[in-house]
């Protein structure tokens, strides 16, 4: 089967699972445009469709595709218009507009050697108080690979720019040293599956060469490695070999090393021997700057008051901020009118309703209980033990913050007075800004909630 046939077969099965309207809105114009190392690249006509399909159908599509091609490990969604895709599939590039071609190249050309996506650059990375330390470390590393800040460990919540920054380091190093310093980027799941594959096929030597034969190893989302014994072992050896040869190691995670419970002690202390920095929520000015940068990249514009509305509302996740921005641009493009503040408000309102509808109070309780290793019954009890008081306050805080419940209804759910709910919300809101550890805990709980 060629790529087109493979995709048509996948779609045929998918079509059965969806309503006709859904299928034709979201998937009819999708194409499988490339595959590489088990990653299959699916092109969609616009950002809105990309976001949608990525969030809703990723798992299903991958499951079906795997039945036809067992090498499929992951889908990557990209935006490309029809006039880019058609000639590309015919393998002739003569009719492509240079701009479209460029866009396609950026989205699809993940360098097979380094695994880096050229889309992530330092120049497109907006710097502000929430990430300036991480940025400074990145710049220092680029100028002085391997000797300064080694290993470099960066952590923070979802969608705050970790992948962007560490890939940008790789891209800059590659450009600056022209092949004399060889970077390699790998998501930790990929590393894990490589090791598993090698064990099964008795090809450990291949893996050793693949990962130890680089000068700068970038491992993304290391928290997924923890607990997988053989992988951790192999990672540790790779780490040591590189480290002893003054090779640079960069690691990202959604939490600091001491909070990855399954991580082996010797690995953790290695990380702690280097530089550890975090990225946190961007402040208002920075959110505005990010929106403006993004608009410039897309060659689009929005009225200042609309930019202001987006920046005021989208506070906690740059990926979601970008998603909202894309929705608004998509709307503007479709209607061929300049968007107004109130329409923008409306779009934001709808998408945040979607986000909060996904989360239930039961999920919040469950996540907090799991995180602190206590029973949900304790959270709902009148027990005043210190171990349950703070978790209970966190529950109330999250019910307000994520679900936007009223204080009386929070009180009711928790068997408490509404003033207790107010107190809890205010206390945690204050403390989150004061204590990094609490902030981190809440980021992790949020993440658990979103991931279900």
Judged by the rule CB under 5 A, the positions of this chain that interact with Mg ion are 163
Shortest spacing between CB 226 and Mg ion, in angstroms:
16
Q: Is 126 in the site for ligand ADP (CB under 6 A)?
A: yes
Taking every pair of C-alpha atoms in the chain, what is the biggest distance, in angstroms? 73
Which of the listed partners (ligand ADP, Mg ion, none) does 160 bind, with a CB threshold of 5 to 8 Å by partner kind?
A: ligand ADP
d(C-alpha 75, C-alpha 397), whole Å: 36
Give the nearest distance from C-beta 23 to ligand ADP in angstroms. Answer: 28
Of 164 and 190, the one with the shorter C-beta distance to ligand ADP is: 164
CB of 312 to Mg ion, least distance (A): 25
With beta carbons less than 8 A apart as the criterion, state whether 400 and 374 touch.
no
Question: What does residue 127 show for φ and ψ, rounded to 5 degrees?
Answer: -105, 135
**Binding partner of 242, given Mg ion, ligand ADP, none, CB within 5-8 angstroms per partner class:** none
When the beta carbons of 158 and 343 are compared against ligand ADP, the nearer one is 158
Residue nearest to Mg ion (CB): 163
Contact pick of 131, 192, 248, 393 for ligand ADP (by CB under 6 A)? 131
- Return the residue of 163, 171, 253, 440 that touches ligand ADP, per CB under 6 A: 163
Residue 100's binding partner out of ligand ADP, Mg ion, none, with CB under 5 to 8 Å set by partner kind: none
* CB of residue 322 to ligand ADP, shortest distance in Å: 5
| CB 447, min distance to ligand ADP, A | 10
Rg (CA), the chain: 23
**Distance of closest approach, residue 119 Cβ to ligand ADP, in angstroms:** 7
Q: Which residue is nearest to ligand ADP (CB)?
A: 161
The smaller minimum CB distance to Mg ion, of residues 217 and 410, is found at 217
Q: Is the Cβ of residue 125 or residue 407 nearer to Mg ion in the bound state?
A: 125
Q: Residue 295, interface with ligand ADP (CB under 6 A)?
A: no
By CB under 6 A, how many residues form the interface with ligand ADP? 16
Rule CB under 6 A: say whether 160 interacts with ligand ADP.
yes
Q: Out of Mg ion, ligand ADP, none, which partner does residue 126 contact, by CB within 5 to 8 A per kind? A: ligand ADP
> Could you tell me the smallest distance in angstroms from the CB atom of residue 314 to ligand ADP?
11
- Smallest distance, ligand ADP to C-beta of residue 310, A: 14
Q: Which of residues 52-71 bind ligand ADP (CB under 6 A)?
A: none
Question: What's the min distance (Å) between Cβ of 163 and ligand ADP?
Answer: 3
Interaction between residue 187 and ligand ADP (CB under 6 A) = no
Check binding of 307 to ligand ADP (CB under 6 A).
Answer: no
Residue 332 contacts which entry, Mg ion, ligand ADP, none (Cβ below 5-8 A, type-dependent):
none
User: Which of 228, 292, 313, 319 forms a contact with ligand ADP (CB under 6 A)?
Assistant: 319
SS3 of the chain: CCHHHHHHHHHHHHHHHCCHHHHHHHHCCCEEEEEECCEEEEEECCHHHHHHHHHHCHHHHHHHHHHHCCCCCEEEEEECCHHHHHHHHCCCCCCCCHHHHHHHHHHHCCCCCCCCCCCCCCCCCCCCCCCHHHHHHHHHHHHCCCCCCCCEEEECCCCCCHHHHHHHHHHHHHHHHCCCCCEEEEEHHHHHHHHHHHHHCCCHHHHHHHHHCCCEEEEECHHHCCCCHHHHHHHHHHHHHHHHCCCEEEEEECCCHHHCCCCCHHHHHHHHCCEEEECCCCCHHHHHHHHHHHHHHHCCCCCHHHHHHHHHHCCCCHHHHHHHHHHHHHHHHHHCCCCCHHHHHHHHHHHHHHHHHHCCHHHHHHHHHHHHCCCHHHHHCCCCCHHHHHHHHHHHHHHHHHHCCCHHHHHHHHCCCHHHHHHHHHHHHHHHHHCHHHHHHHHHHHHHHHHC
Q: Binding to ligand ADP by residue 287, rule CB under 6 A?
A: no
160 or 310, CB closer to ligand ADP?
160
Nearest of 338, 379, 346, 381 to residue 362 by alpha carbon: 379
Q: Please report how close the Cβ of residue 412 comes to Mg ion at its closest, in angstroms.
A: 38
Under the binding rule (CB under 6 A), the answer on residue 110 touching ligand ADP is: no
Partners of 154 in the β-ladder:
252, 277
Contact indicator for 443, 258 with CB cutoff of 8 Å = no
275-278 and 39-44 strand pairing: unpaired
| Residue 48 interaction partner, one of ligand ADP, Mg ion, none, beta carbon < 5-8 Å per kind | none
Region binding ligand ADP by CB under 6 A among candidate stretches 198-206, 263-271, 314-322, 403-411: 314-322
């Amino acid at each position: 089967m060629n790529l087109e046939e493979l995709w048509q077969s996948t779609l045929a099965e998918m079509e059965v699972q969806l309503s006709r309207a859904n299928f034709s809105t979201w998937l009819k114009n999708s194409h499988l445009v490339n595959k590489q190392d088990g990653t299959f690249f699916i092109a969609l006509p616009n950002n809105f469709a990309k976001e949608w399909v990525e969030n809703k159908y990723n798992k299903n599509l991958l499951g079906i595709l795997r039945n036809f091609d067992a090498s499929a490990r992951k889908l990557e969604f990209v935006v490309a218009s029809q006039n880019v895709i058609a000639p590309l599939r015919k393998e002739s590039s003569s009719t492509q507009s240079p701009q479209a071609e460029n866009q396609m190249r950026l989205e699809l050309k993940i360098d097979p050697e380094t695994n880096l996506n050229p889309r992530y650059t330092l120049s497109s990375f907006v710097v502000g108080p929430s990430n300036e330390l991480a940025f400074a470390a990145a710049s220092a590393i680029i100028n002085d690979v391997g000797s300064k800040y080694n290993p470099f460990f960066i952590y923070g919540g979802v969608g705050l720019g970790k992948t962007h920054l560490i890939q940008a380091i790789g891209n800059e190093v590659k450009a600056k040293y022209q092949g004399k310093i060889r970077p390699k980027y790998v998501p930790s799941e990929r590393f894990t599956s490589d090791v598993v594959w090698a064990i099964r096929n008795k090809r450990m030597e291949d893996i050793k060469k693949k990962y130890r034969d680089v000068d700068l190893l970038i491992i993304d989302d290391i928290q997924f490695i923890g607990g997988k014994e053989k992988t951790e072992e192999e990672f540790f050896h790779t780490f040591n070999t590189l480290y002893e040869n003054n090779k640079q190691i960069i690691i990202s995670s959604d939490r600091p090393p001491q909070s990855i419970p399954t991580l082996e002690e010797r690995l953790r202390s290695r990380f702690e021997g280097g530089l550890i920095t975090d990225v946190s929520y961007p402040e208002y000015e920075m959110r505005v700057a990010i929106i403006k940068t993004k608009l410039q990249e897309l060659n689009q514009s929005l009225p200042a008051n609309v930019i202001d509305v987006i920046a005021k509302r989208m506070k906690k996740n740059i990926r979601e901020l970008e998603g909202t921005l894309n929705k608004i641009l998509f709307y503007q493009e479709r209607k061929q009118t300049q968007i107004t503040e109130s329409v923008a408000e409306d779009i934001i309102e709808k998408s945040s309703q979607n986000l909060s509808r996904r989360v239930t109070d039961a999920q919040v309780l469950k996540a907090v209980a799991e995180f602190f290793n206590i029973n949900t019954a304790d959270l709902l009890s009148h027990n005043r033990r210190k171990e349950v008081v703070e978790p209970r306050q966190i529950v109330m805080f999250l019910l307000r913050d994520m679900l936007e419940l009223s204080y009386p209804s929070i009180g009711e759910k928790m068997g408490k007075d509404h003033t207790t709910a107010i107190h809890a919300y205010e206390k945690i809101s204050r403390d989150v800004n004061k204590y990094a550890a609490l902030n981190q805990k809440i980021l992790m709980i949020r993440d658990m909630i979103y991931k279900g």
